[in-house]
């Protein structure tokens, strides 16, 4: 059984992934801010999940997490860098410094996590970064900081894959719309999100568990020959 780190594990895609890894018998270090959800996740993980409250917008908190866990969890077999935020939708010419938090959480935090984790990686460790179709094949006018942070995450993924020659694998997923709090808030509520999803190629968004399946596959040795890739997981959304 393996040990995985999952960020943004308190909700949506990260929660579904942490729970699937726990069901498979792995140990999960689950990061997030919401302590109530974190405790609930630990309960649902049946002893496989440990929650750590870490705000990824604060680099010192990430450092503290690695310092505090180095003895109890000296080896990591993989990471799902999943946590993300889209900030405040705004026209590109009105983007301000406040939007830097989007880049901090979506790009700099995964970068710092990989830098701090690398000396703990077991041979064959697998890192999956959660990017998005936004920043890869879609560029909505009001989401420049989000899109550019997700594009940068793809570059980070491929650069690390090139650096380690397959000793560790680095891949990115680009989900299309998923039924989570993040997308509800982007569309102005769940009802508006569900309505918009009637135009999805398959008539509905993904459930978080459909993305978790793909992540768990990429984290596992079953995906041993997949490295440095960007996988769109969108149910055909970007075809139309
Ligand atoms: N939903 C979609 O349609 C979609 C599509 C493509 C890509 N994605 C990507 O999927 C990832 C997960 O999003 P989701 O859809 O599952 O949304 P979600 O249910 O809202 O989950 C977001 C997670 O990120 C965590 N998070 C946000 N800011 C954080 C911070 N500063 N520090 C620590 N944790 C933070 C949240 O933790 P707390 O709640 O504990 O703060 C939460 O666990 C994101 O990177 C998103 O960009 C989503």
Task: Read off the pLDDT of residues 55-102 as tens digits, 9 standing for 90 and up.
Answer: 999 999 999 999 999 999 999 999 999 999 999 999 999 999 888 899
> 11 CA distance to ligand 1 centroid (A)?
7
Q: How many CB atoms lie within 10 A of CB 134?
A: 21
Residue 99 confidence (pLDDT)? 86
pTM above 0.75, yes or no: yes
Active-site pick, 146, 160, 168, 237? 146
- For the chain, where are the E strands, in sequence order? 3-6, 27-32, 49-53, 76-81, 121-130, 169-175, 230-233
Give the Cα separation of 240 and 221 in Å (integer): 33
Distances in Å between the Cα of 71 and the Cα atoms of 3, 66, 74, 76, 89 are: 14, 10, 6, 12, 42
Residues with CB under 6 A from ligand 1: 8, 10-14, 32-34, 37, 55-57, 82-85, 105, 130, 132, 175, 177-178, 180-183
Residue 119 confidence (pLDDT)? 97
Opening angle at CA 160, ends 159 and 162, nearest 5: 65
pLDDT in tens, 143-180: 999 999 999 999 999 999 999 999 999 999 999 999 99
Give the Cα separation of 57 and 235 in Å (integer): 31
Rg (CA), the chain: 17
Q: SS3 for 149?
A: helix
């Amino acid at each position: 059984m393996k040990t995985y780190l999952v960020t943004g594990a308190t909700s949506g895609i990260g929660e579904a992934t942490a729970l699937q890894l726990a069901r498979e018998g792995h140990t999960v270090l689950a990061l997030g801010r919401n302590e109530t959800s974190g405790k609930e996740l630990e309960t649902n993980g049946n002893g496989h999940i440990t929650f750590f409250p870490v705000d990824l917008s604060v680099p010192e908190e990430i450092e503290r997490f690695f310092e505090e866990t180095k003895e109890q969890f000296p080896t990591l077999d993989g990471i799902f860098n999943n946590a993300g935020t889209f900030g405040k939708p705004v026209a590109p010419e009105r983007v301000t410094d406040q939007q830097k938090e989007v880049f901090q959480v979506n790009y700099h935090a995964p970068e710092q996590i990989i830098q701090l984790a690398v000396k703990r990686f077991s041979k064959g460790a697998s890192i999956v970064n959660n990017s998005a179709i936004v920043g890869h094949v879609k560029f909505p006018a009001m989401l420049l900081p989000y899109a550019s942070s997700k594009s940068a995450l793809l570059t980070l993924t491929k650069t690390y894959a090139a650096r380690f020659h397959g000793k560790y694998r680095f891949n990115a997923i680009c989900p299309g719309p998923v039924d989570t709090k993040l997308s509800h808030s982007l569309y102005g509520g769940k009802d508006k999100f569900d309505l918009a999803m009637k135009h999805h190629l398959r008539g509905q968004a993904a459930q978080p568990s459909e993305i978790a399946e793909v992540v768990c596959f990429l984290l596992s040795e079953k995906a041993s020959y997949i490295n440095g890739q960007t996988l769109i997981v969108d149910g055909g959304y970007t075809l139309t």
